[in-house]
Amino acid sequence: MKKILLLGSGELGKEFVISAKRLGCYVIACDSYKGAPAMQVADEFEVFSMLEEAPLRAAIAKHKPDLIVPEIEAIRTEVLLDVEKEGFEVIPSARATNLTMNRDRIRDVAVGLGVRTAKFNYAESSDELLAQAKAIGFPVVIKPVMSSSGKGQSVARTEADIQGSWDYACAGMRGDRKKVIVEEFIHFEFEITLLTVRQRNGKTLFCPPIGHVQERGDYQYSWQPQGMSPEHLKAAQEMAEKVTADLGGAGLFGVEFFVTATEVIFSELSPRPHDTGMVTLISQNLSEFDLHARAVLGLPIPAIECVEGASAVVLADKEGTQPTYSGVADALSEPGVDVRIFGKPTTRPYRRMAVALAKGSQSLERARAAAAAGRRCSATTRSAIAAGPAAPTCASAAPPRSGSTATTAASTTRRWCNWR
């Protein structure tokens, strides 16, 4: 039995714990608040900020895990570099975790490997941000170098947007680095996440590409497989393999790309299961969480099988506690539909509380109509909430090219949440 120390206990961590425990693992889930989703299914839990060195070292020393598995970016990764030298194994590696904690470091790695990225630079003040934006050319996309779930991302279309974008990025930052990445606005046809699996013994594997729609820099819907040309898919796989091989270790990586009419452009990478990959809970024979567990444990992955599927997130629209849910029975009455409620104890605007999943082969037209219906539904939830300045909606992305009535079924469940 492997003992796993899970650093971060959100909804992705919860599904990983379930997959790992099915394979006989003992899991200690850590997060900054009690009752986090993964804690509800783990064997033990610890509550502390993983950005603080002392409690992180103490948890590792106390539990002496076989594997340390980060689930979030906001970790004092210098500690992981140290304990790896002491003999602890960090998944996929301490270097990978350290480099990907901040967007600037992994972007620099990609450029060093000759991987095509958007033009970009960094800024540590609003004045510096304005100068870099002028050099790149408006519009520009601005992101904190460290944030979770796309928080703090915006599009500055003119000089007048810069201060608001800087303030929005600072408000969405995690960690203690007040620094942003500013990059050219790519007029892409669609975005994909390419789930890439590095095995301990075996070749690197790829899941079929996942298409997704983002709003405010955060994923709203995803579908699998995303249709794309064989040439573009090969280019994405080659770039993903090049970057993940450089990072090393075993496990699943979520590698994001922009796809234009003529090329594929590297965007970001997470050395762990990806939020857009929640669709694999219904679209694949082995979910991204199953694949991550098997990869880190050195277990075989004989085949990855996929059917058409889609996911749609359920968002909170207010501050609150003790959330309740209605409409679940209606959602589950439709064949091929499933629901995952994360079990988060508190709510705040735009916080992900659940995901609806569905599978089934449908036409391109119905997939587009389903995605549009989902956006209309979510708009009613957001109407009373002030969005961040120029928050990107990825309006330049094309509607889904592949999907199912999954998204339609899922979108009907987006307003289950009620708060006391």
pLDDT digit string (tens) for 120-159? 999 999 999 999 999 999 999 999 887 666 678 899 999 9
CA distances from 172 to 168, 177, 179, 216, 294 (A): 6, 12, 11, 11, 33
Angle (deg, nearest 10), helices 77-85 and 53-63? 40
Q: Is the pLDDT of residue 390 over 60?
A: no
Q: Is the pLDDT of residue 99 over 50?
A: yes
Residue pointed to by tokens 């997060």: 31
What is the arithmetic mean of pLDDT over 352-363?
78
Check 32, 148, 346, 396 and give the catalytic one: 148
Residue 148 is a catalytic residue: yes
Residue 161 is a catalytic residue: no
Q: Is the pLDDT of residue 373 over 80?
A: no
| C-alpha Rg value of the chain to the nearest Å | 20
Which residues, 6+ apart, have CB-to-CB distance to 82 below 8 Å?
none
**Residue pLDDT, tens place only, 231-248:** 999 999 999 999 999 999
CA distances from 80 to 97, 98, 120, 290 (A): 8, 8, 29, 24
**Residue pLDDT, tens place only, 74-92:** 899 999 999 999 999 999 9
Q: Is the pLDDT of residue 253 over 80?
A: yes
Residue 215 is a catalytic residue: no
* Contact predicate 301/294, CB 8 Å: yes
User: How far is 168 from 191, CA to CA, in rounded Å?
Assistant: 23
Check 275, 288, 290, 338 and give the catalytic one: 275
Residue 268 is a catalytic residue: yes
Check 294, 352, 375, 414 and give the catalytic one: 352
* Higher local confidence (pLDDT), 313 or 398: 313
CATH fold, domain 3-90, is: Rossmann fold (3.40.50)
Check 268, 288, 290, 317 and give the catalytic one: 268
Q: Nearest 5 degrees, angle CA 347-CA 59-CA 354?
A: 25
Check 19, 149, 270, 276 and give the catalytic one: 276
Residue 251's nearest CA partner among 64, 68, 59, 80 is 68
Check 31, 73, 218, 256 and give the catalytic one: 256
pLDDT for the residue 316:
85
Task: Give the CATH H-level superfamily of domain 190-418.
Answer: ATP-grasp fold, B domain (3.30.470.20)
* Amino acid at site 94: A
pLDDT for the residue 59:
98
Handedness of CA 332, 338, 342, 347 (dihedral sign): negative
Average pLDDT, the chain: 85
Instruction: List the domain boundaries for the chain.
Output: 3-90, 119-184, 190-418
Residue 204 is a catalytic residue: no
Check 8, 10, 13, 150 and give the catalytic one: 150
What is the arithmetic mean of pLDDT over 375-401?
29
* Contact predicate 224/210, CB 8 Å: yes
Q: Do 3-90 and 190-418 come out as alike in CATH topology?
A: no
Residue pointed to by tokens 């959330």: 323
Which three-class secondary structure state does DSSP give residue 24? coil
Q: Per 3-state DSSP, what percentage of the chain is helix, strand, and coil (rounded to 5)?
A: 35, 25, 40
Q: Is the pLDDT of residue 419 over 70?
A: no
Residue 276 is a catalytic residue: yes
Q: Is the pLDDT of residue 338 over 50?
A: yes
What is the arithmetic mean of pLDDT over 382-404?
29
What is the arithmetic mean of pLDDT over 164-188?
88
What are 51's two structure tokens? 């950005």
pLDDT for the residue 415:
36
CATH class of the region 119-184: alpha beta
What is the arithmetic mean of pLDDT over 20-48?
98
Q: Is the pLDDT of residue 369 over 70?
A: no
Residue 352 is a catalytic residue: yes
**Residue pLDDT, tens place only, 100-129:** 887 778 889 999 999 999 999 999 999 999
Say what percent of the chain tops pLDDT 90.
Answer: 67
The model's pTM: 0.85
